A and B are shown apart, each in its own frame.
Chain A
Amino acid sequence: MNNVILEGIAIRKVFGGLIALHNVDFAVQKGSITALIGPNGAGKTTLINVISGLLRPDAGCIKLYTTVISGLPSHDIARHGIARTFQTAQIFAHMSVLENVMVGMHVRTRSGFFSAALRLPHVIREEHHIARRAAACLETVGLSNCAHQLATSLPIGSQRLLEIARALAAEPRILLLDEPAAGLNTQETRALGELILRLKAQGITIVLVEHDMELVMDVADEIIVLDFGKKIACGPPLSVQTNPDVIRVYLGQET
């Protein structure tokens, strides 16, 4: 099985004196769920930010199949089919839940400034399409009943689901989830796990940063463990769980 969709080669990111990512290599299999774990400050979010183009790596490169995407601005990376959610939900505050998701369709639609101003027939057709698709994305995450509410009126758990729906609207090939379970209760976390598996079944490749080990072990096909910016282990959940380095990092065992 060698069907790598996303590959990172010797990625390095330095903030001042801190090496946030130290020559990290990784490979994500198409259609899999890859979890990125590690203690706080291990560089997980930095890696997600580098993949999604929010940060430029100082060295190394990231390839989507054979296309180098590292160094592109984030909106170009989104166009390549990589969508993401954020550790602290970044909801568009002055917009309704549905409109938030409709923004996600930006890369999949094309009407421009002037045709929009004149509301030409193809713009109207596209608007109908956008509304339908966005509603479908809301249904996928189970937020259909609050489509017309103001997005900020949602509880935090629903805001996270909204972010996922918004990312799905971009019809991503790869979905990056940055701690989607943070702030969710057990029930919500279980529902989230089911949602993630459903998305995988739809053929979306998922990269998941998560602290909730139960969730990670339930859904991940592959786990990458980071510690102080270095990759210390990777492999299927069972082998990672028994890896002595990982146990040391998580339990603080003396070597």
Chain B
Amino acid sequence: MDMTRHRDLIAFIILVAFIPLLFKNPYYINILVFIGIYSIAATGLNLLMGYAGQISLGHAAFYAVGAYTSGILTLRYQVPFPAAAVLALAGAALLAYAIGMPCLRLRGHYLAMATLAAGEIIYIILNAAVPVTGGPSGIAGIPSLRLGPYDLDTDTGHYAVVWCLFVIVLILSRNILDSRIGRALRSLHSSEIAAGSLGVPVARIKLQVFVLSAVYAALAGVLYAHTVTFISPQTAEIMFSIQLITMVVIGGMGHLWGGVVGAAIVTVLPELLSAFHDYELVIYGCILLIMVMFLPGGLVRWVQRCIEVRMAPLMRKRS
């Protein structure tokens, strides 16, 4: 394996491994666990939105489907966690396939509206199918993370599982982006017509990346269910879909690290701004607006550019 492709990732892994040593307070570790969970979902949405240019306003639904499937299977049918998780991902993939088939023929706002509607339908089903989902009161007592004989129900256990999975998600995503499939999906962003004329099967590639991003969202949902051990239809709310989009936009659309950076900011921000809880939607709206107007490339690119500008005089001096 050529390690030069993953230099940034190696640095990141070292960082992730050392952070728990800095924060002894379980509250902080817990927040980091949530950042990891959201990073997985946001990275998936970034593939779809940032790279392929397709907007989904229904990603919370896949997150919820992952959470409910794995939660119900482990709680009611005693399916061991890894198997339940795999089934949950498969379920979300099937659902995404079924939704994506008709929806992905649509473009721009129409696709956004169709995914919004699909998400709302799932939200309503979760509320209404009381015998299966527990209705609005949700499901409590979901078993925590457990891998065979290893009980991982500690803060550091959750932390390790979540961030290991995030690293895997990142490697898989980068591999795809650096392949012909990745270039094909990035080409859709600018011109579906040109992509098609070069032999890129536009509809199929769109569907593949849609399903992949849904599977990532479902994986995040699975981890959420077994971390919090309680789920409710709130996980499928449109608000969460918008939060995911905010993460991608803040972090950086079409940048591999955009998902984590965005997830970190959107997760930490409400903790800092807890006094403004009632105005959450307004604040997200404002942040989105400001980002789109002034930093359309997201924070990651902005920082990159700042560094380049600072470094430029030094580089010139050296040469």
Report the bound CA distance from A74 to B199 in whole Å: 7
Q: Are B183 and A167 in contact (CB under 8 A)?
A: no
Task: Tell yes or no: A119 within 8 A of B by CB.
Answer: yes
Q: Which of A94, A105, A127 contacts B190 (CB 8 A)?
A: A94
Give Cα distance in the complex from A74 to B262, angstroms.
37
Kindly state the separation between the CA atoms of A111 and B183 in the bound complex, as whole angstroms. 12
From the candidates A54, A109, A111, A113, name the one contacting B197 in the complex (CB within 8 A): A54
Residues of B within 8 A of A53 (CB): 196-197
A95 to B2, CA, bound (A): 22
Q: Is the CB of B180 within 8 A of A75?
A: no
The count of residues in chain A whose C-beta lies closer than 8 Å to any C-beta of chain B is 41
Query: Quick check: is B184 within 8 A (CB to CB) of the other chain?
Result: yes
Would you call B176 and A99 a contact (CB within 8 A)? no
A78 touches B199 (CB 8 A): yes
Per DSSP, chain A at the interface is helix
Given A102-B183, A111-B180 in contact, is the A91-B190 Cβ separation under 8 Å?
yes
Total residues of chain B contacting the partner, CB 8 A: 30
Contact of B189 among A52, A94, A113, A119 (CB under 8 A): A94
CB < 8 Å: which of B172, B194, B196, B201 contacts A117?
Answer: B172
Give me the interface of A with B, judged by CB distance under 8 Å.
Answer: 52-54, 73-75, 78-79, 83-84, 86, 90-95, 99-100, 102-107, 109, 111-113, 116-119, 123-124, 126-127, 130, 166-167, 170
B156 within 8 A of A: no
User: How many Å lie between the Cα of A165 and that of B5 in the bound state?
Assistant: 27
Is B181 located at the chain interface by the 8 A CB criterion? yes
Closest-by-CB residue of A relative to B51 is: A94
Q: How far is the CB of A170 from chain B (nearest CB, A)?
A: 6
Q: Is B206 an interface residue (CB 8 A)?
A: no
Q: Which B residues are CB-close (under 8 A) to A112?
A: 181
Check A83 against B176 for contact (C-beta < 8 Å).
Answer: no
Q: A102-B180, A113-B176, A116-B176 are in contact. Are A52 and B197 (CB under 8 A)?
A: yes
